[in-house]
Amino acid sequence: MFKKCAKAIAVLLITASFQSCTTQKLSFKANKPLVGIWQNIKEPASFITYTEDGHFYNSYKEGENQVITHSGNYKIIGNDAYLLDITYELPNRKYALKDRQYINHYVFGKDLKSVKLTGVVSGKSGSDTLKWEENMVKVKSF
């Protein structure tokens, strides 16, 4: 009787571990469309780059140069949300984003080549907030 219970428990543990591995692979595949270079539709010189290793870079094109305005790490935390941990910003920005974390939301277009990003950020004083929304399109280069 003990051997049968032990075998049943072992089978359940093995099955559970396979299911958790499958879930991790599926969630990685589901989040992969965010990786790449995204161009702002309203401001074509403005870009956000998300890398596979969890870094992001907000930038704008100035002549032939790409100027990074903000950077840090991001992590998908749900089907439509990701956490930004901002570690760098250009000096003298209106909104103090450096050393803060923000939850942003995203909705992909049907073709996964467009995305609507939304969020709320705090001003330097803490009381001045900005609710923002940007429509982005995936591009191959700056």
22-45 CB burial, b ≥16 within 10 A, e <16: eeeeeeeeeeeebebbbbbeeeee
Q: pLDDT tier at 27 (50, 70, 90 boundaries)?
A: very low
CA nearest 58: which of 110, 93, 109? 93
Q: Is the pLDDT confidence value at 48 over 80?
A: yes
DSSP type of residue 43: S
pTM: predicted TM-score of the whole model, two decimal places: 0.74
Mean of per-residue pLDDT scores for the chain: 80
Q: Is the pLDDT confidence value at 59 over 80?
A: yes
pLDDT in the model for residue 1: 53
CA distance 114 to 109: 5
Could you tell me which residues come within 8 angstroms of residue 12 by beta carbon, excluding any fewer than 6 positions away? none
| Residue keyed to tokens 């923000």 | 102
34 close to 44: Cβ distance less than 8 angstroms: no
pLDDT in the model for residue 29: 45
The arrangement of secondary structure in 35-139, i.e. its CATH architecture, is: Beta Barrel (2.40)
Residue 23 tokens, joined: 């879930």
Amino acid code (one letter) for 114: S
Q: pLDDT tier at 97 (50, 70, 90 boundaries)?
A: confident
pLDDT in the model for residue 79: 83
pLDDT in the model for residue 128: 74
Phi and psi dihedrals of 14, rounded to 5? Answer: -65, -45
Q: Is the pLDDT confidence value at 115 over 60?
A: yes
